[in-house]
Structure 1
């Protein structure tokens, strides 16, 4: 069999299973809230056009109203000022959207400190234990934050001092962007930066460095606990919006089934 037939055969036999890493998208999906004077995107909503009635007797359909960066979504380079001359979401090459998935588990650290920041030594230590990150990989960072996806309040974890969600140091963001031959990163939080990343230098460093280096970020992932540390494949499928700075995205992982 050729390689594609091998994959199809493995899916048919159940030795490879598909894990959906995408958060369902609805009007209740937690979304980013920027403070004044910044403007926020609209939340997701459906507008009924017909429902087997006079406007459409044999069908039901809706208009969709949503911001680009709502729910599980991808950030394209043009989303950030550092990538303003880069690709929009429709221009991301398909080969960059399918690749090895590497899961790095920082759920214990984030559980102890919601402001936990991943730093370069954490990733160096991971590679010393597990090996180098493969080319074209997607680094998926598990923090356990998907457990809060049912609640806007818990997901954003806001108080008078800002939003308290885990992320990355500025140094680590720069290192990932400039030193690793990966396609992008994925997180379980509402954005690819920490909740209080505005206070870092530069502000929102993962956005600044990653998107400026023609790499991509996906947010609001779930089910990372169902993936092995390495050995699975991820498929990132955004809407190819021409001129889009991002798009709602279906993210799937192909995982060898463990019968033990």
Structure 2
């Protein structure tokens, strides 16, 4: 069995969307204070972590993009949604800021040699990290899905989809529309994935990515993993 980590590392000062608070990691305990109980001497280390629920690799909860009363928060989503068959589509050739069409998605599926099935998790490798991560353009110049492409994925019956970028569609109006379509169609998406290039051309895998159980959360940071037999 092979496990491929699809999660970005969380660290102080990491890139986050400008709408989100910065990530702060501070030492809390550092083994400097020892406790003695009986004949046992013990010390411990821990850090204090401050971050938004949209930091690092995370999945959006409906509450984030759906203003309807009762839209689900992250802890209300069933775990089954985050464990199941996965497929990574190669769209690394698309230009920056490009809005991927349904036709381009269909071509990527055909190149993979697989078929989409209801319940799939579909990951989209657009070479965003290698081209943009660590630069200011990471927040503005990434490619993503067109509104019609989000509908196309929903029509395919997928469980969720995921991208490397901070958002599922190109920055601006298209991104707002993509989020609203997710609300309309009852699907959601993972953002800030990593290592998708390691999945391309390898066919199907098992996707595991359980979000943190944050009460009322609008998203859930997750440790996303692809499992190959």
Whether these two folds match at TM > 0.5 is yes
Note the residue ranges of structure 2 that are not aligned, 5 or more in a row: 36-41
Greater shift, 212-221 or 120-129, is seen at 120-129
Q: Quick check: 1:46 aligned with 2:25?
A: yes
SS at match of 2:16: coil
- How far the C-alpha of 1:235 sits from its partner, in A, is 0.2
Q: What is the CA–CA distance in structure 1 between the aligned matches of 2:15 and 2:106, rounded to whole Å?
A: 33
For 1:87-102, list aligned pairs within 5 A: 87-102=72-87
RMSD: 2.2
- How far the C-alpha of 1:53 sits from its partner, in A, is 2.3
Q: What is the CA–CA distance in structure 1 between the aligned matches of 2:160 and 2:92, rounded to whole Å?
A: 20
Q: Quick check: 1:199 aligned with 2:184?
A: no
Q: Quick check: 1:117 aligned with 2:102?
A: no
SS at match of 1:233: strand
Contact 1:189 1:221 in 2 (8 A): yes
Shift of the 49–127 alpha-carbon distance from structure 1 to 2, 3 Å rule, reads closer
Indicate the residue corresponding to 2:38 in structure 1: none
Shift of the 24–148 alpha-carbon distance from structure 1 to 2, 3 Å rule, reads farther
- How far the C-alpha of 1:17 sits from its partner, in A, is 0.2
SS at match of 1:42: coil
Shift of the 82–133 alpha-carbon distance from structure 1 to 2, 3 Å rule, reads farther
Q: Quick check: 1:151 aligned with 2:134?
A: yes
- How far the C-alpha of 1:137 sits from its partner, in A, is 0.8
- How far the C-alpha of 1:166 sits from its partner, in A, is 0.4
- How far the C-alpha of 1:49 sits from its partner, in A, is 2.1
Shift of the 50–104 alpha-carbon distance from structure 1 to 2, 3 Å rule, reads same
Q: What is the CA–CA distance in structure 2 between the aligned matches of 1:86 and 1:214, rounded to whole Å?
A: 10
Q: What count of residue pairs does the alignment treat as equivalent?
A: 221
Note the residue ranges of structure 1 that are not aligned, 5 or more in a row: 1-15, 34-39, 157-162
TM-score by length of 2: 0.87
Shift of the 83–114 alpha-carbon distance from structure 1 to 2, 3 Å rule, reads farther
Q: What is the CA–CA distance in structure 1 between the aligned matches of 2:23 and 2:147, rounded to whole Å?
A: 31
Indicate the residue corresponding to 1:3 in structure 2: none
Indicate the residue corresponding to 2:223 in structure 1: 250
Shift of the 83–134 alpha-carbon distance from structure 1 to 2, 3 Å rule, reads farther
